[in-house]
């Protein structure tokens, strides 16, 4: 990674500077991005990203900690669709003291993802299970015996995720512990294989419709030999990254960079 950073840093675009910190973004022809945050001669902090063409409206963007922001995805009328914890390419440049709004490009970097031929296949697979530790143990040992509380309340056993669902793990954590990982399932709208010119590595770029928004999901090409089928389901853990080229500070707020 150090060699890659050294090679691409001079080729990057300066997004801005704040408090002695410079934010530089390099982009490969494949769309692969690397955001480098540097102060003096110190090793840079890095944010992996991608030049996604999907756009979402983010409302109330607020930093949770030094790295991760929380935002609400809204529709064109401002109605809330879902919440997302996200790494923002411009995180060192956006204000800390007041929430902001803006239109962002957004990408999900797959960390542990499975592909399913159809919604039915997904619904019958273990990947769709949505169980706590106790229920997961019951499912492992006695899959045909629903827990008593399921029977009492008339709940479907086992509990499963919908084919289009999204949830950031950060909503269950304290702000200082929050990360940008999420559990995402969505319908595959299209996919293509690309090669990162700088490294020769292949990636899969998959357009997905999930609960509340469309998103580009990037997968390691070597781990997925086949092109994901249109109409199938992609599901798993992802790292959410967004780019905010412009934003509006809410009334009464000031704008200041992170330290």
pLDDT in tens, 164-223: 999 999 988 999 999 999 999 999 999 999 999 989 999 999 999 999 899 999 999 999
The pLDDT of residue 209 is 97
Rounded mean pLDDT, 26-39: 94
**Total number of residues shown for the chain:** 259
Of 130, 139, 186, 196, nearest to 163 (Cα)? 186
Using 50, 70 and 90 to split pLDDT, how confident is the model at 251?
Answer: low
- Report CA 158 to chain centroid distance, whole Å: 27
221 vs 157: CA distance, rounded Å: 35
Of 255, 258, 244, 257, nearest to 86 (Cα)? 244
Mean pLDDT, the chain, integer: 91
Pair 145, 138: CB distance under 8 Å: yes
Torsional class of 19: left (φ above 0), alpha (ψ -120 to 50), beta (otherwise): left
The pLDDT of residue 252 is 52
The pLDDT of residue 231 is 98
């Amino acid at each position: 990674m150090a060699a890659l950073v050294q090679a691409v840093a001079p080729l990057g675009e300066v997004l801005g500077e704040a408090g002695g910190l410079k934010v530089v973004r390099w982009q490969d022809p494949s769309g692969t991005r690397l955001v480098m945050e540097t102060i003096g001669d110190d090793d840079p902090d890095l944010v992996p990203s991608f030049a996604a063409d999907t756009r979402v409206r983010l409302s109330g963007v607020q930093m949770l900690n030094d790295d991760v922001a929380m935002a609400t995805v809204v529709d064109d009328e401002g109605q809330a669709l879902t919440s997302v914890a996200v790494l923002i390419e411009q995180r060192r440049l956006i204000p800390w003291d007041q929430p902001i709004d803006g239109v962002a490009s957004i990408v999900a970097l797959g960390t542990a993802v499975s592909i399913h031929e159809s919604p039915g296949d997904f619904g019958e697979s273990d990947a769709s299970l949505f169980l706590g530790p106790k229920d997961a143990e019951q499912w492992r040992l006695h899959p045909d015996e629903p827990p008593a509380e399921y029977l009492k309340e008339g709940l479907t056993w086992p509990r499963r995720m919908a084919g289009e669902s999204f949830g950031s793990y950060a909503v269950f954590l304290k702000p200082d512990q929050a990360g940008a990982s999420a559990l995402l399932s969505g319908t595959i709208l299209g996919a293509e294989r690309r090669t990162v010119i700088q490294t020769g590595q292949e990636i899969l770029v998959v357009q997905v419709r999930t609960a509340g928004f469309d998103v580009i999901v990037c997968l390691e090409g070597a781990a997925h030999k086949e092109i994901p089928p249109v109409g199938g389901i992609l599901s798993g853990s992802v790292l959410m990254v967004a780019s905010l080229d412009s934003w509006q500070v809410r009334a009464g707020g000031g704008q200041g960079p992170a330290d």
